[in-house]
Structure formats: C-alpha cells, structure tokens
Chain A
Amino acid sequence: MKRNIIYLLLALLLAVSPAFLNAYWVDVLNNVGMYALLALSLNLILGHAGLFHMGHAAFYAVGAYTTAILNTSFDIPVLWTMPLAGLIAGLFALMVARPIIHLRGDYLLIVTIGFVEIVRIALINNVFGITGGANGIFGIDRPYLFGFKIRKPHEFFYLIWGFMAVTVFLFHRLENSRFGRALNFLREDDVAAEGSGINTTYYKLIAFVIGAVWAGMVGTIYAAKMTIIAPESFNFWESVVMFMIVILGGAGSIRGVILGAFLVIGLPEIFRGMGTISDLINSLFSSFGVTLSLDFSNFSKARMLIFGAAMVIMMIFRNAGLLPPLPRKYPLKKIREEMRIREEVRIREEMKIGEEMP
C-alpha cells in the first residue's frame, strides 16, 4: 500500500514536471521515456522469458520505417500507422525468431546481434528501394492527436509518457497472468516447463512477438519525434543500451526497468549539466589554495565505460539488478475462505441428503 502511494506521487511529480522544466530537460525526459518503453518491451523477452535477445533495435527499426514509408509515400497520418507498425514488427519478429528460437542462451544472443546488423546493412543498401539508403527517410509528418498537432518536446512528453502509462498498465496485467507465469517457468527451467505441459516454443515466440509489436509502436513515436530516420539510429548499440537498462534496472521488473532507463539515459545528462557545478567546486577549492580539476561533464562521455563496468560489478554482487521483481501476490486468504465455505456447504448438503435417506 505504502509502495503504491510512493509510485502515485512519483507519477504525479513526473506529470507536472514539464511545467517547471525547459525544452532541453523535457526532451531528456522524453528520451528516458522512449528507452524505458523499448526496455519494457525487451523486458518481456529478456527479463520474463530469460531469452538473451540483443537485436531489439531491429524491431524498433521495422516499426519506425513502416511509419516513415506509409507516411511519406502514402500520406497516412502518423499515429494511424502505429498499429500497423506494431503489426509488421510483430510479423517480422515471428519470421526471424521461428528458426532460432530453440537456440541456447548465448547462441541466441549472438544470432540476434547478427540479425540487427543484417537489418541495418539491408536498410543502408536500400532494400526493396523503399528505405532511402544510408540517408534514410526524411519529411515525416508530426502526429495529430484529437486534431491537436504534437510538435514541441512538452507536447511529445505527454504522448510518450501517456503511452507509457498504458504500457505499464497492460504489462502489469500481463505479468500477473497465466501468460506471465509461463514465461517465468520457461526462464527458470524449460525442460521442467515442457514437462509440466507448457508449450515453451510457443511462449518464447509470443514473447518475441509482443515485445516486437511494442518496439514497433515506439518506432512510430520515434519517427514522428525526429521527422527523419536513418539506419544509424538503429545500430547494434541501441540494442546494447536497451539490454543494459533491463539488466541493470532489474530483469523482469517494471519499476526496475523504468529506474534503469532513468539511470542509463537520464543520469549522464544530469552530469553533463553539472560542468558548471564542478567548475564552481574547483574555483572554491582553489581559493583555499587546493588545486582540483573535477569535471562532472566528463561523465556523459564516459557513461558507457561506467555502465559497462557496472554490468560486471552488478553480476558479481547483485545479479538480479537494482530493483528486482517482487514475488507475485495471490489473494490466498480470500480464496482459502471461499474454499472453506464451499466445503462447509458441501458437507451440510451431504448431511441433509443423509437425513432424508437414512
């Protein structure tokens, strides 16, 4: 209960934050939101099903390109393309995942890396003549929502974080269901899962498909936000960043993944802005005759170095991530009570029958 109040307060704080922030910082929050969405969709595959998938940027790319092509060539409004972007990304996932789904953890990892590279190379080579080659596609329209044109970071903020709210709501339900449990079973032990009657191949594929559908839809938002997309936006490093967010934040945990996105995407920005603060500290110390050469803004350059090291350290000391998933809660007391009442009714009725027919 207490935890829910904290989440609610944090959500409220986030919702009103654009009122106090300039465009730069709102855009940082938008980026955090985009990566959090991507990481949440990856989390189904990597966190819940435990499939080492490092090609998520490929699905993201398929979605973004679907929107870009439909919008620029066929003038379909951007947000209308969103379901289709998701669908095509999902179909693409089904197609590429089917033959490799049985591969063991680290092999799957390397194959998915291969896929994301092949997709990028295909986009550069202007495959089917519709992807615009290395320059990509430009001139994508801004989205309209209820007749309102979304253009400024402040406006995108509500589109992105609104979609986030929907995503968290739906994914939370998904986690706490037969489907979510099935993914966990096959992550824990897929031989035992099969032996308990779970079609592990099917669930692995569905995890891929749902993850890809979401990544594809985030691709639509990305295309709309940037109005220009190019293959380099979907390179292997994008996949690495998503992977990192899930692993560092907490695989299988929605709150962990969102925290992870704030850390991996937001933190370096905060330090970038702190160059003046470190200068201030330096000058403060130098006035006391102590020479310091702190430069907090360096952190953003070294962010991947630091997060790389953090992955190693995390695996050694806290391999479930910063905020690991909490055990699912079941209303056992209530269900027990119902079972007891039903049992009593049954016994009473049996006794009644016994009385009637001695």
Chain B
Amino acid sequence: MSLLKLEKLVKDFGGLRAVDEVSFAVEAGDIFGLIGPNGAGKTTVFNLITGNYVPNKGKVIFDGQVLNGLAPNKIVTLGVARTFQTIRLFKALSALENVLAGCHCRMKSGSIAAMLKTPFQKREEKEAIQLALAELDFVGLGDDADTRSDSLSYGNQRLLEIARALATQPKLLILDEPAGGMNEQETDALIEIIARIKARGITVLLIEHDMSLVMQACEKLVVIEYGRKIAEGLPEEIKVNKKVIEAYLGTDDEEEGEACF
C-alpha cells in the first residue's frame, strides 16, 4: 500500500481549475519530486494534501486514511509535516521555540498542568527541549538555538522550517521549494540533509525549481502543467520526456526551463 495516494484531485478557484484530476502515489521511503512550470498548481496540490485547501473532487489518502476535510493540524498529527514556499517562521521567537512548535502536537500538558507545574509537565517540557535541540543539531543549527529566527540567514531559515517539521515526528515530509533562495553550497548541504531524512525512514515529497537538486535527490518524479499531470517516472525518463521538455521550454520564452535542462 502506498503511503500517500492522490485520486483524481480537483481544485477550482472561482472559474479557474487550478488542479485537474491529478493522481499519483508516493511509496513509503521514497524521495518523490513534484515539478512543473510556474503556476502549474504544485503548491495547490500540497495545500490540498495538508488540509489548507479542501478539494472539490477526488481523494487524498494517507496511510490508509482519507484526509479530505480534516483540519491542517489534525493532518500533522497523523504524520504529514510541511514547510512553506514563502518562509513562515514565528519571526519574533527563537530558533529553539520554532522547533518546539513542531514538538507541540506530540505533547500533552495543558494550561492547568502548566499552572500547577506537575512533575509530568516538567519532564515533558525537558524532553521536548531535548528533542528540539536534537532536530536543530540534525539540520546544523544547534548553535543558533537562542537566535531570533528572523535574524537567521535565508538558507538557515529554510533549514529551521525543516527542523520544525521534523519535530512533529512525521511519516511524510512535504517540502515546498526547500532550495529557494539558497546558494550552491547551501543546496548541496540540503541534498545531504534530505538523504539523511530518508535514512531516518521518513518519506519526502518535494516541489523544487532547482533541477540539479531534483535530479540528484529525487527517486521518482511527477510533472504537472496547467493543473494536469503530464508525466510520471524516474528522473532520467522525465529528462527525455517530450511533453515535459515542451512544457518547460515551450514555444515561448520560459527562461527557467532552458536554464534547468
């Protein structure tokens, strides 16, 4: 059974069909790439999986459970974590606290336990901090635990988002353009981190524009254009797929595509 399965997913915005009967399946342990030209509907697909949007038609099935209509936070608890295309950190809070946000859904102590400072609450709090530090170490931000998240560099902010997502202890990690705004060294470090995430047994689904990253990191790709799936396969197959090349290079001046291939 696939870990994540999309069945003929449809999303309309007013008269515009942003996602049109997209289906694909992600197997457990994969590093799966979702690519396509700008505005193809990739992020919309992600938002449909994570519950930020509700599909008009079709199904999202994760780990045997239909996710349609569940609240985003519920979906996180079930084991789907995400990062955002436009970085969305809790700016005024420290890196550590950002990761603690991810720990939140695996913790139990409520407001009354906090006021009474029960032994359980104290222990849980300490364990959460340990876990958060471990995740910061994992992405290489261990020394920045106390730093305000908005004073981190752009690349490190992306890594912090990944650490926050990992702290939710996901089965599936969804990365929306993780290399956006990163330089070459940072991208290389990211590829290495993604490999280590896979080694932890976490499945990765990512959107990316940086084709070198996609080709290096991903084991399987789905390509969408105008909200429709146009190809699916191994990276080397996609590279030579006629439809894909057309979609990227097209007849017009889509610079990005030229730069990529």
Cβ-neighbour of B96 out of A170, A197, A199, A330 (below 8 A): A330
Given A196-B105, A335-B126, CB of A188 within 8 Å of CB of B90: yes
Q: A334 to B74, alpha carbons, bound, how many Å?
A: 33
Given A195-B52, A197-B102, CB of A177 within 8 Å of CB of B97: no
CB distance from A327 to the nearest CB of B (A): 6
Q: A167 to B62, alpha carbons, bound, how many Å?
A: 45
Asked whether any CB of chain A lies closer than 8 Å to the CB of B110, the reply is yes
CB distance from A296 to the nearest CB of B (A): 39
Cβ-neighbour of B111 out of A176, A179, A191, A335 (below 8 A): A179
Query: 1/0 per residue B75-93: CB within 8 Å of A?
Result: 0110001101000111111
In the bound complex, do residue A179 and residue B105 qualify as a contact, i.e. CB atoms below 8 Å apart? no
Q: Which residues of B contact A332 (CB under 8 A)?
A: 96, 129, 133, 145-146
Q: Which residues of B contact A178 (CB under 8 A)?
A: 100, 104, 107, 109-110, 114, 124-125, 128
CB distance from A50 to the nearest CB of B (A): 11
Segment 125-184 of B: residues with Cβ below 8 Å from A = 125-126, 128-130, 133-134, 145-146, 148, 164-165, 168
In the bound complex, do residue A181 and residue B97 qualify as a contact, i.e. CB atoms below 8 Å apart? yes
Segment 335-357 of A: residues with Cβ below 8 Å from B = 335-336, 338-339
Asked whether any CB of chain B lies closer than 8 Å to the CB of A210, the reply is yes
- Chain B contributes a number of interface residues (CB within 8 A of A) equal to 48
Q: Which residues of A contact B164 (CB under 8 A)?
A: 196
Q: Write the chain B residue with the least CB distance to A207.
A: B111
Q: Write the chain A residue with the least CB distance to B164.
A: A196
Asked whether any CB of chain A lies closer than 8 Å to the CB of B66, the reply is no
Given A195-B72, A195-B76, A332-B145, CB of A189 within 8 Å of CB of B90: yes
Point out residues on B near A: beta carbons under 8 Å: 50, 52, 71-74, 76-77, 81-82, 84, 88-94, 96-97, 100-102, 104-105, 107, 109-111, 113-115, 117, 121, 124-126, 128-130, 133-134, 145-146, 148, 164-165, 168
**20 additional contacts (CB under 8 A) given A195-B73, A336-B133:** A174-B111, A174-B114, A177-B109, A178-B110, A178-B125, A179-B110, A181-B93, A181-B101, A192-B90, A193-B90, A193-B101, A194-B72, A196-B102, A196-B104, A197-B73, A197-B104, A199-B71, A327-B146, A335-B133, A339-B133
